[in-house]
């Protein structure tokens, strides 16, 4: 039996809440998350006699028919299956060996397994596993599908018919060279940064309003533009992290580095009358601790706010040590002058371009206490900044050893090559974006309650390669999209229905409904309306009447005119309480908390939005003109990146041009990445 693979998931799901790390919640003085606890060496009761299942109380209690003795208790709502019971019995019989949770062990170097005729390292890992299961990979997708897939994945924009034709012609002569050139063109596109900023802004819980019931507008789009630019420059992810968490603490911090600290200013701001401002300041710090833990460590650190974590080895004291790093900041607005100088210096007669929300370290540090049950009115023991003992130690450069710990130390600890989590977490989320699911399916919880990697050796290899490549996001995406695994067709294969119905082994690609903003962008491209302008203040595309009258505060929404009416979805103004319906109906996050994976629902409201939303009606009207001018086949290709069949054209020709345009923009194929 393999403890991490076979046993720990059973214990974590059914036992650790009452017999785990949280001492206050531990029952019967029994701890099952450690070997010493299970056999009674740490002073508790023994539940396991290694090698002797018939003498082990754990085995007796999970197998008994006596409802008063059976574990898990009947009133817990949990019940072990026969297979799970036998797994635990065999594990005890084999010696009850425990292992450190895989995610807390540094990534191990694995040589990609040899596969005849295959050189790409990702394909060697994937195809070796497939061969072991007697499965062959799918064939490479056709050229039209490939250019649409990789264009949408890397830039969030579909290819034009001219780009499709050029690629198909080049691929016919040399498919590998043509594809390499395509990928490099897309990675170099300024629209690459827009697409991947959207991915990061979900995690940053970005929105253009303060939240709570008043939900007043805020100005923080300079941070959004910083993210776009950072991705376009391929800023190393360790630098990207440090500047967002502690850019203001870097030596001679520049204006841009200060703007980057807007990451943690994306918390909500409560402007209601009569509130206790300290309560909501503390709530903001709670949010920052939880967000930092989820985004970079893939851990539910926030669960230790009120008590020791019930599953993961993170104590409440350690939670407040992390809290202390983020408890010593003021929250000013900063004038932005648009140059890479120190914003704190005299600016002379220069006029600021805008303002943005940033963090600034306080001259007089706040004291941090453990808050009893997470209540800000009940301070307990004082704590100083620190990190969880289960992870790597916090090390500092010699010149900083005499200074108090601060956010810069936390940021550097997070991106230390010794950290077993950060590189794994990020490459897993990159993989998730390109395949619809991460190698670790539960992408926001690498703790004991999470899922094990489907391909652990590949995950470790990717994590180490990420660091070796200088934390380059573009290098990792170039690696992923150049693999056959990525380029496979997504067509269903009947023989996989039995062997791998959910496609965990990756014998094919996966069809993915486009993100809400990308649906808008694809429609703008298809209709010829897209404004390619980058950056700047958020814009106001047309939305249905009455939407902004839904909240506690009635707000005006004056639709933008000119090219701002046709900007990418990334730039649409987003109120947290009343997000634009065309975005929320397609599962765009609301910005209240970090989002590390978007849901993909399928509802009738989505089809109605594509038909009737004011912006989409404009797209259809513009596409109608293309149909009249260039014909149905051209319009079809603009929407789907392929040539229609005769039967499809026959159906469309029975419609008037506007109805045909509305139909094309509403096709499943138009809003889906094959």
The pLDDT of 122-127, averaged and rounded, is: 98
The closest alpha carbon to 230, from 190, 264, 202, belongs to: 190
Look at residue 399 in the predicted model and tell me its pLDDT: 79
Q: Is the dihedral of CA 561, 562, 566, 570 positive or negative?
A: negative
Res 497: pLDDT: 92
Buried b (16+ CB within 10 A) or exposed e, 394-415: eeeeeeeeeeebbbbbbbbbbb
**Is residue 7 predicted with pLDDT exceeding 80?**
yes
Give the C-alpha separation, 453 to 298, whole Å. Answer: 13
In this model, does residue 139 exceed pLDDT 60? Answer: yes
For residue 45, the model assigns a pLDDT of 82
In which band, very low, low, confident or very high, does the pLDDT at 550 lie, cut at 50, 70 and 90? Answer: low
Q: What is the mean pLDDT of residues 377-406?
A: 93
Q: What is the pLDDT of residue 538?
A: 98
Judged against a pLDDT cut of 60, whether residue 342 lies above it is answered with no
Say whether pLDDT at 19 is over 80.
yes
Query: 92 near 51, Cβ under 8 Å?
Result: yes
Band of residue 344 on the pLDDT scale cut at 50, 70, 90:
very low
Rg, Å, the chain Cα set: 27
CB environment 92-131: b (16+ within 10 A), e (fewer): bbeebebeebbbbebbeeeebbebeebebbbbbbbbbbbe
CA–chain centroid gap for 457, Å, is 21
Nearest to 626 by CA among 542, 533, 541, 525: 525
The helix or strand, by DSSP H or E, that contains position 334, with its residue range, turns out to be strand 333-336
Comparing C-alpha atoms, which of 634, 630, 632 is closest to residue 652?
632
pLDDT classification of 602: cutoffs 50, 70, 90: very high
pLDDT tens for 515-545 read 999 999 999 999 999 999 999 999 999 999 8
For residue 346, pLDDT over 70 is answered with no
pLDDT tops 60 at residue 228: yes
In the predicted model, is pLDDT for residue 506 greater than 60? yes
How far apart are alpha carbons 602 and 199 in whole angstroms? 21
Asked whether residue 409 carries a pLDDT value surpassing 90, the answer given is: yes
Its pTM stands at: 0.94
- Separation CA 451–CA 443 (nearest Å): 9
Q: Pick from 474, 399, 460: which is nearest to 430 by CA?
A: 474
Which whole number is the average pLDDT over 236-264?
98
Q: Kindly state the average pLDDT of the residues 150-164.
A: 98
What does the alpha-carbon distance between residue 402 and residue 573 come to, in Å, rounded to a whole number? 45
> Any idea how long the chain is?
674
Q: What is the mean pLDDT of residues 147-159?
A: 98
Which pLDDT tens digit goes with each residue over 67-114? 999 999 999 999 999 999 999 999 999 999 999 999 999 999 999 999
pLDDT at 341: 52
Percent of the chain with pLDDT over 90: 92
- DSSP letters for 203-226: HTT--SB--TTT--B---HHHHHH
> Could you tell me the CA-to-CA distances from 413 to 162, 251, 318, 434, 674 in Å, in that order?
48, 18, 15, 28, 39
The pLDDT score that the predictor gives to residue 400 is 80
Alpha helices in 342-441 (DSSP H): 407-414, 422-435
Using alpha carbons, select from 340, 337, 336, 341 the residue that is nearest to residue 358.
Answer: 336
What does the pLDDT look like over 279-292, one tens digit per residue? 999 999 999 999 99
Rounded to the nearest integer, the mean pLDDT of the chain is 95
Distances (CA, A) of 260 to 231, 263, 664: 13, 6, 41
Q: Is the pLDDT of residue 256 over 90?
A: yes
Say yes or no to pLDDT of 343 above 50.
no
């Amino acid at each position: 039996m393999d403890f991490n693979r076979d046993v720990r998931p059973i214990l974590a799901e059914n036992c650790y809440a009452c017999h785990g790390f949280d001492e206050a919640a531990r029952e019967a003085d029994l701890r099952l998350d450690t070997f010493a606890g299970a056999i009674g060496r740490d002073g508790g009761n023994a539940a396991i006699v290694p090698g002797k299942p018939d003498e082990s109380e754990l085995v007796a209690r999970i197998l008994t028919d006596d409802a008063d003795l059976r574990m898990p208790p009947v009133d817990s709502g949990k019940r072990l299956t026969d297979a799970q019971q036998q797994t635990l019995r065999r594990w005890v019989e084999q010696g009850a060996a425990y292992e450190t949770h895989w995610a807390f062990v540094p990534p191990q170097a694995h040589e990609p397994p040899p596969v005849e005729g295959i050189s790409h390292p990702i394909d060697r890992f994937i195809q070796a596993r497939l061969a072991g299961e007697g499965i062959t990979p799918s064939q490479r997708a056709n050229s039209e599908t490939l250019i649409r897939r990789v264009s949408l994945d890397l830039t969030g924009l579909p290819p034009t018919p001219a780009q499709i034709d050029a690629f198909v012609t080049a691929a016919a002569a040399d498919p590998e060279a043509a594809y390499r050139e395509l990928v490099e063109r897309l990675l170099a596109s300024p629209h690459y940064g827009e697409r991947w900023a959207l991915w990061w802004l979900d995690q940053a819980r970005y929105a253009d309003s303060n939240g709570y019931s008043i939900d007043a507008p805020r100005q923080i789009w300079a941070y959004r533009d910083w993210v776009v630019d950072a991705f376009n420059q391929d800023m190393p992810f360790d630098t990207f992290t440090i500047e967002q968490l502690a850019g203001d603490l870097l030596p001679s911090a520049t204006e841009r580095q200060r703007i980057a600290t807007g990451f943690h200013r994306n918390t909500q701001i409560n402007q209601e009358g009569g509130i206790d401002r300290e309560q909501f300041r503390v709530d903001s710090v709670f949010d920052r601790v939880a967000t930092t833990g989820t985004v970079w460590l893939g851990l539910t650190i926030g669960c230790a706010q009120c008590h020791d974590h019930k599953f993961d080895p993170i104590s409440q004291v350690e939670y407040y040590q992390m809290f202390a790093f983020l408890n010593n900041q003021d929250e000013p607005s900063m004038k932005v002058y648009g140059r890479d100088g120190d914003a704190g210096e005299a600016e002379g007669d220069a006029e600021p371009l805008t303002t943005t929300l940033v963090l600034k370290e306080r001259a007089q540090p706040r004291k941090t206490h453990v808050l009893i049950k997470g209540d800000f009115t009940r301070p307990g023991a004082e704590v100083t900044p620190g990190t969880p003992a289960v992870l790597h130690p916090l090390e500092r450069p010699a010149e900083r050893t005499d200074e108090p710990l601060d956010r810069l130390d936390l940021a550097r600890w997070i991106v230390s090559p010794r950290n077993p989590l950060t590189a794994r977490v990020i490459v897993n989320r990159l993989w998730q974006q390109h395949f619809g699911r991460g190698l670790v399916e539960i992408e926001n919880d690498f703790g004991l309650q999470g899922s094990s990697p489907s391909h652990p050796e590949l995950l470790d290899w990717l994590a180490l390669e990420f660091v070796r490549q200088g934390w380059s996001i573009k290098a990792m995406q170039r690696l992923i999209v150049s693999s056959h695994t990525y380029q496979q067709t997504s067509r269903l294969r009947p023989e996989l229905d039995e062997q791998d119905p959910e496609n965990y082994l990756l014998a094919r690609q996966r069809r993915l409904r486009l993100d809400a903003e990308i649906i808008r962008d694809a429609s703008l491209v298809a209709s010829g309306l897209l404004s390619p302008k980058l950056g700047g203040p958020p814009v106001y595309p047309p939305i249905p009447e009455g939407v902004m009258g839904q909240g506690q505060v009635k707000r005006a929404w004056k639709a933008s005119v000119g090219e701002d009416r046709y900007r990418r979805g990334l730039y649409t103004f987003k109120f947290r309480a009343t997000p634009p319906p065309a975005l929320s109906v397609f599962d765009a996050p609301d910005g209240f908390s970090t989002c590390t994976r978007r849901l993909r629902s399928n509802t009738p409201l989505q089809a109605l939005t594509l038909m009737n939303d004011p912006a989409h009606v404009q797209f259809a009207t513009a596409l109608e003109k293309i149909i009249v001018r260039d014909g149905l086949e051209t319009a079809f290709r603009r929407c789907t990146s392929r040539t229609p069949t005769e039967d499809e054209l026959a159906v469309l020709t029975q419609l008037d041009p506007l109805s045909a345009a509305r139909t094309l923009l509403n096709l499943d194929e138009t809003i889906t990445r094959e």
